[in-house]
Amino acid sequence: MTQHSLIIATGNAHKVEEFELLLKELQFDVVSAKNCGGMPAVDEDGSTFAANAQIKAEALRKLAPADAWVMADDSGLEVDALDGAPGIYSARYAGVDASDQDNVVKLLDALKDVPKAERTARFRCVLCVIDHDGYITHYDGCCEGRIDTEVHGDGGFGYDPIFIPNGYSESFAQLGDAVKSQLSHRAKAVELMCSILEK
């Protein structure tokens, strides 16, 4: 495969770093949206992760060099006891300008009467990739786990301090990047993407 640029459609520096780590096997020069003048403002009004990822990817595609690939992700936390909420509203669960801490506090409050066994949840990530020919594909990844009753650890971001992946007793915020990069919903979606693109 020719070395193409893969431009990540996000203004979030954490995400770009995470994707750089996850995509190192692929022959891409992974760059951030800054290389196209920054991520354009988009109205994420899709009703699914896939729709929102595609909205972001298509917006950046218009600004990207013709031979570049563009990738966007939309991801969030689905809590079974809350019928899949916060879902696509994960980043703004406690309001449009909510901090990670605000969102975590609101979620813990919503689950305060839910017993441990019923606090199952998953991080879901859907990637939308648009190649240099404009061909669009989606890749879906999940990490199953549960929501703890309190915050643990100061690593990671978002809901990481309250999410305990299946098979572990520590939160994503405690497990560190090396473990998280193997388990995470983004890792699973990227793994699927890589297995298909390598073919």
Phi, then psi, of 171 in degrees rounded to 5: -80, 165
Residue type (1 letter), 178: A
* 11-5-70-23 Cα dihedral, nearest 10 degrees: -80
* Strand ranges in the chain using DSSP code E only, listed in sequence order: 4-8, 28-32, 69-79, 120-130, 136-147, 163-165
Residue 61 three-state SS: helix
- Determine whether 74 is an active site residue: yes
Q: Are 157 and 171 in contact (CB under 8 A)?
A: no
Please classify residue 58 by burial: count the beta carbons closer than 10 Å to its beta carbon, then call 0-12 exposed, 13-18 middle and 19+ buried: middle
- Crossing angle of helices 172-183 and 185-197, in 10° steps, is 10
**Looking at 74, 100, 140, 148, which residue is catalytic?**
74
Tokens 């648009």 correspond to what residue? 130
- For the annotated catalytic residues, the residue numbers are 74
